[in-house]
Amino acid sequence: MDSSQFNKDFFEFLQSCPTPFHTTKVIKNSFKRAGFLEIPENEDWNLENAEGYYCTRDDGTIIGIKLATDFPLERPWRMTAAHSDSPALQLKPKPLKSNHSNYQLCVEVYGGPLLSTWFDRDLGIAGRVTVLCKNDHLQTCAIDFKRPMAIIPSLAIHLDRNANKEHTVKKQKQLFPLICQTTDNEFSFDELLLQQVIAEYPDLTACKILGFDLFCYDTNPAAFIGLNNDFISAGRLDNLLSCFVGTKAILDINTVDNALLLCSNHEEIGSASFAGAQGNFLSAVLKRLMPDPILRSKLLSNSYLISMDNAHAVHPNFPEKHDPQHTPMLNHGPVIKYNSNQRYATTSRSAAMYKTLADEVNIPIQEFVMNNDLACGSTIGPIAATKLGIQTVDIGVPSLAMHSIRETTGAQDPYMLYQTISHFYSRSSLPQTAL
């Protein structure tokens, strides 16, 4: 495995994962192929049949587990966490409106996208749909039209002479993707969805649409950019990059300790949901894996979580936005993120452990702290650290244009993160720090 093969696989992953439901499905399938067994929350678990297991919640969050070969109930946990969702435009329950011989889609803003970047893009539609089947069962399935289905045209500059001076996007006025022209036949959105479900799941006998979570996404594939292919441009790098790295790393290793990967939905909207990191999914799974509360707290206090989410590289046009001492650059190694108010979970000690790991595989590290005059973002790191009582570091690859429909990172960055995380999972023991 080298960086170019790694990036090739990564680009395919990005293309297969337009929504958290697809990300979860793709990760689940790679676990299945590796012999991992599903442990559904609503069933009893038998943990003696395999080394690898996975568990999903609400179709958008997945936990992968690789148990220590020897004495798993006596071993600490090495965990990584990332989020499966990205900012997007989500279709409203009644998504169609007709307007001047066009049909347009009504959307809500999911999370915090850079809205100006969503105009004049080839937008696909994907997500999950719950259907009624002929045997009266309800079935939820992920669908993806896999082609440009809609576009939000900008207003021509001749009709808006201030367009290059003002960037404001009026969400209830301007965000209506154009989906088709009106014809004599009435256009039924449910019928369109039903046909897509039948095309993707011919065995289902789907006969009625009962609900959906559908999103617009950029259909253009990831690309290398630059004279020397130094950069990667793609949608949803935040945070599919970390999901991909975590999945590949946990699949590739033999572990002496227990290994876990969490790819969680709803981070972009604050994580407070059934499937989000503020919910009880991870702690409920860990309770079932380690039912004894004293043993659980002992093992978790010896465990370590690497929370992976992209970091802000310094933008060459806006260097003043960064603290001048902390200016991560693309292709210069993953970034350790610090915040004295614990918006990032990093402590000097958890950072020291990460530095040790990176150093052992010769991967450079960079350090980020927010400019004092700007509000600091957050990740699922502090939430997991708070809920589980586990030592956590927040890290991520440097990137530009975070939350744009297309974000930029360095072509070397994903593989550097992978090498570090792979080493973290496979090292003979966790770097020890005296408590």
Q: Which residues bind Co ion (CB under 5 A)?
A: 238-239, 309
CB of 309 to Co ion, least distance (A): 4
Closest CB to Co ion among residues 51, 394: 394
Closest CB to Co ion among residues 176, 344: 344
CB of 50 to Co ion, least distance (A): 31
CB of 419 to Co ion, least distance (A): 21
CB of 260 to Co ion, least distance (A): 19
Closest CB to Co ion among residues 209, 380: 380
CB of 206 to Co ion, least distance (A): 34
CB of 383 to Co ion, least distance (A): 13
Neighbours of 74 (CB within 10 A): 12
CB of 417 to Co ion, least distance (A): 14
Closest CB to Co ion among residues 218, 238: 238
Closest CB to Co ion among residues 242, 366: 242
Closest CB to Co ion among residues 255, 273: 273
Closest CB to Co ion among residues 80, 239: 239
